[in-house]
Amino acid sequence: MIRQAKGKTPRRPPPKKTSNNQKDPVGVYCRVRPLGADDEECCIEVISNTTIQLHAPDGLKANRNGEYKETQYSFKKVFGIKTTQKELFEDVAKPLVEDLIHCKNGLLFTYGVTGSGKTHTMTGSPGQGGLLPRSLDMIFNSIGPYQAKRYVFKPDDKNGMEVQNQVDALLDRQKRDSQSAVPKTPNTRRIDPEFADMISPEDACRADGVDEDSSYSVFVSYIEIYNNYIYDLLEETPFDPIKPKPPQSKILREDQNHNMYVAGCTEVEVKSTEEAFEVFWRGQKKRRIANTQLNRESSRSHSVFIVKLAQAPLDADGDNVLQDKNQVNVSQLCLVDLAGSERTSRTRAEGSRLREAGNINQSLMTLRTCIEVLRENQMCGTNKMVPYRDSKVTHLFKNYFDGEGKVRMVVCVNPKADDYEETLLVMRFAEMTQEVEVARPVDRPICGYTAGRRQRNQAFKDELTRRLEERGGPVDGEFPTVLNQLLQSFPPLPPCEVSGPNDDVTLPRLIEALEKRHRVRQMMIEEYNKTANMLKSVLQEQDSNILSKENFIHEQRGKLGEKDKMIQNQKNEIDRLEKKSKMLEYKIDILQKTTNIYEEDKRSLQHELESREQRLQREMSEKRRMESRMQGIVTDAKLKWEKECERRVNAKQLEMQNKLWVKDEKLKQLKAIVTEGKTENRQPQRPSREKDKVPPKRSASPSPVPTGPAVRPLHRRSHSAGGERWVDHTPSTNVDLDTVLQPNIPNAIKVNAPNEKALSKCDKYVLTHQEVASDGEIQTKLIKGEVFRTRGGGQAVQFTDIETLKQENPVVASSRKRRSSESGPDGEPMEGDWTDVETRCSVALEMRAGSNLGPGYQHHGYTKRRKP
């Protein structure tokens, strides 16, 4: 029956599982190559075994981008120009190989500008083998004796590993032997001088803690990524010299454990360093040929050499590989020589090459972006998508970053000044990469069988061989001495010579002696068996004791190794934290100082704020006070102006009425002249012009100066001279002006309020009405009318005339008045007429009815005049 077991690729831990939350930063190393013979200026200085310093070359303008002239960059370790390949290997790659053997994945890549020593570091040259041949050598030195026979492990096409049974493996081996003419033992082969002496035997090293009870097999693949296409460098294609077929590109697939792999990629099982390196060299040659044929530049492609190690425990006998697919483990180590990191502009690429160059840079750019996003996600706790899929290189290594494994990068730098700017970019990338953390791979569980199976099986086989040899060898004729001694311990035999047929003494004695011997022998056999059994059980006990002790020691050793590693890690962590804490302390110090300054500022600002608030308060109250004062002033002014306005309106009214009256009068006179001029020569007496004039001080009202031949229609004197009776109505509210302007009507009945009785006795009525004019003067109006009888027998008054007398308020202007009465505006004495009250009254303005005097007055179309 053919039984096959499928091996698993290292399982990617489920996303949320917390069993392994330990992480390690990507290990970034820096290797400085020696300056080339033609280069003179150097821009890099190694200042410690972890730090380098970059100097801007003299020609370059320094602070152009805010860069300092000198910048320092730190790494996990810096390797100066004198570093040997061996030293580099010990530090950088050896732990990865150890991990590989202990079922853990690793990724190692070289990064840098073209010519910086990436290939030298990864591959090396004869006599100076790089990380790749040394890693292969270490693998085979470690697992060499424990390798499974060829074809016991067989890769499937889904990135898994099958375990074939003995028969199938044997058949496959026979097929291989018949197909190829390669001699079976590599020792007899001539080694290609191109890669001879890659590693000298004295450099050989091997991993500790190799599980001897497992069986191992190494598989290698070699791919090239050019222009974002993947090519299998180990693919055996029938070469057609006439029409060489262009290499077919491969695609990436995800296996059932979500690990990425190159679908259909050749995986060659190799059994020794030489064989493995030969396979590598075959790929290398193919790569060179393809590059020449297709006019490509190798510095623009990424080369990826994948070493897969399959391991499975031996069965209980320690004889064959256990046919249990769950017990097969596959780990892999990727050795990547990246394309030159320089920008496209630096290369003299043209045409299609330019496009390719752009693409290659694109993949490195994607790598940078991925690292950037990863770092951001890890540092800020964000969950941005990492664009692994944007390029083949990053997509292929996705699992290292979001799964688990150890990632290391050797940053190669050429110290020549021409590379300064590119090197600066390389340094920045390196700095960023160091901050990315990758989950630490967990230890695989070991199978349930006791340890030391292989050894015991070997010992058994050895013993068997020895015995077989013993049996076939010459037999020694003598008895072994032990047997002799044993025989001597038996009771001696009596003389057994029979004297005659009647000798019945000798025989019975002999029989007795023999029986005795027989009994002794029986006893001895029993004794022997007992002792043997005892010895056996003791031995067995000892054996198991030893076994368990050995197990224990083995276990302890493993634990010790782990503890050592842990201690180392913790030491590193402590160093890192110490550095960080120093940095933070420094920052705190600065912050403290800044805080103090700010607090000082705050205090002074608060002080200022307070004083300003106080000032504001003061200003506010000042403002309020001002406001109320202004309000007072405004009301005062308003009142004043209201009065003034009223006064002016009234004055204007008077003026207008006066003008109207004058016109009216003129018209009347004209009429009188026309109608009466011929018959009557007597002109109505008219006062002199001077008499018409109102002294300006007396009244603010404009004087009704007639412009034409103004005629004074009636004289007041004639009024009172007649036999008319007057009702003199003076309201008791009137102010006693005590002046010359008091109307004086002889023969009048004085009343405070008009009454029927007084009116019936009179035929004339005068109302003395007082009011305060807008200019503060008291204005007295004499409203005159005629009394007539109504049909109902009552009395009615029809107003006929209004006289306005103006007088300054006696309280405020009594002194001024007196002076004014004595002298005119020009200081000349006034005419005597003015002193007469009556004259003065009559000289006062006469108003026609119809002016707006209020509701109490009857309106008439014109003023009635009476002849004297």
Instruction: Kindly list the residues in this chain that would bind ligand ADP in the complex (CB under 6 A).
Output: 33-34, 112, 114-120, 299, 340, 412
B/e letters for 235-249, b = 16+ CB within 10 Å, e = fewer, are: beeeeeeeeeeebee
As measured in angstroms, the least distance from the Cβ of 117 to ligand ADP is 3
Task: Report what 392 binds from ligand ADP, Mg ion, none; CB cut-off 5-8 Å by kind.
Answer: none
As measured in angstroms, the least distance from the Cβ of 298 to ligand ADP is 9
Beta strand 260-262 pairing with 726-729: unpaired
CB-hemisphere CA count at 13 Å for 868?
12
**φ/ψ of residue 575, rounded to 5:** -55, -45
- Whose Cβ is closer to ligand ADP: residue 105's or residue 299's? 299
Q: Which amino acid is at 415?
A: P
Task: Report what 34 binds from ligand ADP, Mg ion, none; CB cut-off 5-8 Å by kind.
Answer: ligand ADP
As measured in angstroms, the least distance from the Cβ of 306 to ligand ADP is 19
- Whose Cβ is closer to Mg ion: residue 299's or residue 329's? 299
Q: Which stretch binds Mg ion (CB under 5 A): 67-75, 110-118, 195-203, 469-477?
A: 110-118
As measured in angstroms, the least distance from the Cβ of 455 to ligand ADP is 43
Q: Which residue is nearest to Mg ion (CB)?
A: 119
- Told to check if 116 binds Mg ion by CB under 5 A, we report no
CA gap 559, 575 in Å, rounded: 24
DSSP 823: B
CA gap 75, 30 in Å, rounded: 7
Q: How is the beta sheet containing 5-7 ordered, strand by strand?
A: 5-7, 161-163, 153-155
CA gap 57, 420 in Å, rounded: 7
Q: Which amino acid is at 328?
A: V
- Told to check if 301 binds Mg ion by CB under 5 A, we report no
- Whose Cβ is closer to ligand ADP: residue 283's or residue 706's? 283
As measured in angstroms, the least distance from the Cβ of 412 to Mg ion is 9
- Whose Cβ is closer to Mg ion: residue 111's or residue 219's? 111
**φ/ψ of residue 52, rounded to 5:** -125, 160
CA gap 267, 249 in Å, rounded: 16
Q: Which stretch binds Mg ion (CB under 5 A): 117-125, 140-148, 189-197, 617-625?
A: 117-125
Task: Report what 412 binds from ligand ADP, Mg ion, none; CB cut-off 5-8 Å by kind.
Answer: ligand ADP
Task: Report what 106 binds from Mg ion, ligand ADP, none; CB cut-off 5-8 Å by kind.
Answer: none
Q: Which residue is nearest to ligand ADP (CB)?
A: 117
Sign of CA dihedral 424, 428, 431, 434: negative
Contact at 8 Å (CB) between 841 and 803?
A: yes
Task: Report what 112 binds from ligand ADP, Mg ion, none; CB cut-off 5-8 Å by kind.
Answer: ligand ADP
- Whose Cβ is closer to ligand ADP: residue 34's or residue 126's? 34
Q: Which amino acid is at 695?
A: P
Task: Report what 52 binds from ligand ADP, Mg ion, none; CB cut-off 5-8 Å by kind.
Answer: none
Q: Site residues for Mg ion, window 640-659 (CB under 5 A)?
A: none
As measured in angstroms, the least distance from the Cβ of 293 to Mg ion is 19
Contact at 8 Å (CB) between 694 and 845?
A: yes
Q: Tokens 């054996």 — which residue?
A: 543
- Ramachandran region of residue 103, left (φ > 0), alpha (ψ -120 to 50) or beta? left
Please, which residues have CB within 8 angstroms of residue 619's CB and are 6 or more apart in sequence? Answer: none
Q: Which stretch binds Mg ion (CB under 5 A): 118-126, 179-187, 502-510, 816-824?
A: 118-126
- Whose Cβ is closer to Mg ion: residue 120's or residue 729's? 120
184, 173, 161, 471: which is closest to 328 by C-alpha? Answer: 161
As measured in angstroms, the least distance from the Cβ of 568 to ligand ADP is 27
Angle 352-380/420-433 helices, nearest 10 degrees? 40
Distance of CA 201 to the CA centre of its chain: 54
As measured in angstroms, the least distance from the Cβ of 118 to Mg ion is 5
Q: Which stretch binds Mg ion (CB under 5 A): 69-77, 113-121, 135-143, 495-503?
A: 113-121
- Told to check if 341 binds Mg ion by CB under 5 A, we report no
As measured in angstroms, the least distance from the Cβ of 414 to ligand ADP is 8
Q: Where are the alpha helices (DSSP H) in 477-505?
A: 481-488
- Whose Cβ is closer to ligand ADP: residue 134's or residue 454's? 134
- Told to check if 863 binds Mg ion by CB under 5 A, we report no
As measured in angstroms, the least distance from the Cβ of 341 to Mg ion is 11
Task: Report what 116 binds from ligand ADP, Mg ion, none; CB cut-off 5-8 Å by kind.
Answer: ligand ADP
- Count of Cβ atoms closer than 10 Å to residue 61 Cβ: 8
Q: Which amino acid is at 368?
A: R
As measured in angstroms, the least distance from the Cβ of 284 to Mg ion is 11
- Told to check if 119 binds Mg ion by CB under 5 A, we report yes
**φ/ψ of residue 124, rounded to 5:** 80, -165
As measured in angstroms, the least distance from the Cβ of 262 to ligand ADP is 23
**% helix, strand, coil for the chain, step of 5:** 45, 20, 35
Task: Report what 848 binds from Mg ion, ligand ADP, none; CB cut-off 5-8 Å by kind.
Answer: none
Q: Where are the alpha helices (DSSP H) in 684-776?
A: 689-692, 716-721, 756-761
Task: Report what 117 binds from Mg ion, ligand ADP, none; CB cut-off 5-8 Å by kind.
Answer: ligand ADP
Task: Report what 124 binds from Mg ion, ligand ADP, none; CB cut-off 5-8 Å by kind.
Answer: none
Task: Report what 115 binds from ligand ADP, Mg ion, none; CB cut-off 5-8 Å by kind.
Answer: ligand ADP
Tokens of 568: 């180392």
Positions touching Mg ion (CB under 5 A) are 118-119
